[in-house]
Chain A
C-alpha cells in the first residue's frame, strides 16, 4: 500500500502570498489530519477532517484553512503568509476514527519557507 503522499515537497513563498498544500491519504483511510512542525514549537495540531467535515481545529489563526474531498484527499491553505509560517507541514491519515489501534500515519511533509 502506498503511504501518505504530500505535494509539493518544498515550497518558497514571499510574505503576503498564499499557498495550497496537498495530501493524498493511504488508500482506505478516511481521516486526514494536518500538523505544523517547527524547531521552536515542535509538532502542533492544525485540523482534522473526516468525511469532508472538519471535526477538530487547533489553535491557529483563520489564515490557516483546509478541506477534504470525497475521495478523502485533503488540501490546506495558508493566506497572507508571514515569516513565522515557515515550517514543515505534515499530513497524516488513519482509518475510521474510533477503531481500536488506528494510529496516524504521516507523510514526509511539505517544507514551506516564507521570505
Chain B
C-alpha cells in the first residue's frame, strides 16, 4: 500500500488462518468508524463500517468489533487468503466526512 514505509506494524498470517487487526482511536465522541484495505498502487477500499451504537458487525469473511470503553476497534478476517495481503486502516469520522486515519497495519499472507 501507499503508506507502507518505515515502522508499519506487520502481521504475517498463514493462508487459511484467521487474522485480527487492532486499532485504537482517539476521540470518544466519534460515532462512526470504517475499515479500509489498501493494495499497492491503489486507493483505500471500503471493507466494513460500524456505528457507535453497535459493538459488532459482520460482513463477508470480516467482522468489526468496537469497544467504546477503551476506544478500540478490531477487524477480524476469517480464512485469510493471499488476496487479503494489503495495508489495513481504521478511520473515525470526525464529522462532515472528515476521517482521521490510523497509521495502518501491513498484513502478509503466507501461502
Contact = CB atoms under 8 A, between A and B. Distances in A.
Chains A and B come from one and the same complex: yes
B25 interface: no
Contacts of A42: 3, 101-104
Contacts of A33: 97-99
Contacts of A106: 36, 43-46
Q: How large is the interface on B (under 10, 10 to 19, 20 to 34, 35 or more residues)?
A: 20 to 34
B46 to A, nearest CB: 5
Interface in B81-111: 89, 91, 95-104
Q: How large is the interface on A (under 10, 10 to 19, 20 to 34, 35 or more residues)?
A: 20 to 34
Contacts of B4: 39
Nearest to B89: A43
Contact of A48 (B5, B36, B96): B96
Interface stretch (A12-20, A60-68, A69-77, A93-101): A93-101
Contacts of A31: 97
B57 to A, nearest CB: 10
Given A33-B98, A109-B2, A104 B46 contact: yes
A8 interface: no
27 contacts: A33-B97, A33-B99, A37-B3, A38-B3, A39-B2, A39-B6, A40-B5, A40-B6, A42-B101, A43-B3, A44-B101, A48-B98, A55-B96, A56-B95, A56-B96, A88-B2, A90-B43, A90-B44, A92-B43, A100-B51, A103-B46, A104-B97, A104-B99, A106-B43, A108-B41, A109-B2, A109-B42
